[in-house]
Structure 1
Amino acid sequence: MPSHFSTIGIPVTSEQDFIDIGQRAARLAERHKVQNGAYYCWQDESGAALWLQLDENDQLIGINPHFHGQALFQVAILTPIKRPHDSPLDGAIRGWANGTAAAPDSGDFPFVFDLPNLALHPELHYPAQVTIRLAAFAHELTLYESAAAFANRPDPRLQLAAQAFIPTGLFTENDEPPAAQALFTGTISAWAQKQNGLTGRPFYWFAVETLGGSIDVVADPALVPQEPVVGGLLEGSFWLTGTLL
């Protein structure tokens, strides 16, 4: 089953794999000192990235995969989110797509996105209008060669428009904090099979136009059984990760 790491061409199937990839990335990474520790950011030409988290004793406490793309997303950020098992250097924010600081509780839709480097922004205040680079890591993915193929798809789970965004991570139970997850559809404006510079493994990248704006989508090749088509449509469920400009 694809993971967030394999989605950018990094197979991690054991704790030892996790340690090994962290050590390899750390040797090539840029260090960012922050309160409570430091980030080490490794990124290659494909856009694949790893944000390593070290505590104040330089001990590894976490690694977050990320994809650094070009898609820009306008967001009114409302509140930071903390989850019970987060490290001090994890981060997540609730916001509204295309919201404004003057009316932060409105826009195209509310959603949550994770940030691999939130501690780099201690000056951040809420609410605020910001621009982010937003990437979506595919959990499930279906491709359609045209709008007609999408409209005529058999037994759709939901009657979604060709560009739709449902913030599924907001629908939690038992007062659990919201997750950075969404189901969306969109038009493929570009795509490529990329190669992770750390492992040599392939992964897919898509530039997708959806409700609210442009999103960089990445996917494990196991989720892409056919060649994508520019102008075709994409539908799936995703983990959302972003960085502030």
Structure 2
Amino acid sequence: MADRPRQEKLRPSLWWVLGAIAVPFIRGTSHLTIRSPERLPATGPFILTPNHNSNIDPLVIAVAVWRLGRAPRFMAKASLFQVPIIGSLLRGVGQIPVERGGLQRGAVPIDAAKRIVAEGHCVIVYPEGSLTRDPALWPMRGKTGAARLALDLGIPVVPVAHWGTQQLMPIYSKRIHLRPRARIEVAFGDPVDLSPWEGRATDPAALQAATAAIMASVTGLLEQLRGETAPADRWDPAKHGQTETGRF
């Protein structure tokens, strides 16, 4: 599918250098198809919530967003900003530092939150918080960070799902499979209706309900990509004796 004409003013910067590396890499290692690109807002701030089943996911989503004319920004662990070179690179492209677990607890720096709105950023937040634990790679239960941020800032949540990244880099692996080229599809959805919980960013019950709505939207998109129906009960690591991170 053809990319949408660029709408955001992406001035020459470090973004262009990264794009010149990342876009050819993804094109050379996979067949990337973008469904419903018109659903990605061309301007203005919003939160993008993808599913997560491979360590290569952020790069694929970043390339998809970049191809559609938006500069992708992630909520990144604050500790990464202390790493030489990497920290400078993250700051140079406007990534947002968050203390480990901070987004789930609502501890997003206030200056970063204001910048999201003032500068009209697209911010990518993984609502699962980590790679899915579901054995069939369906989205597992979500954390409330994305919903809290959206309700705090009054900006929309746009769901997105992808399928095929696990062919390029299997779950928990750090090795790329170059052949055969992975077939990856990315599908954007309409903004999630969070109006029932407007003004309730500190209400735990509202956050859980809003998070469930976000996860339902992401899962619905993935069902379309896979041509399958997800399990009725979303996978919950705690109920299966699993930790949040680490390989299984």
- The structure carrying a bigger helix percent of its residues is 2
What TM-score comes out, normalization by structure 1 length?
A: 0.28
- The structure carrying a bigger strand percent of its residues is 1
What TM-score comes out, normalization by structure 2 length?
A: 0.28
Relative contact order (C-alpha < 8 Å, sep 6+): which is higher? 2
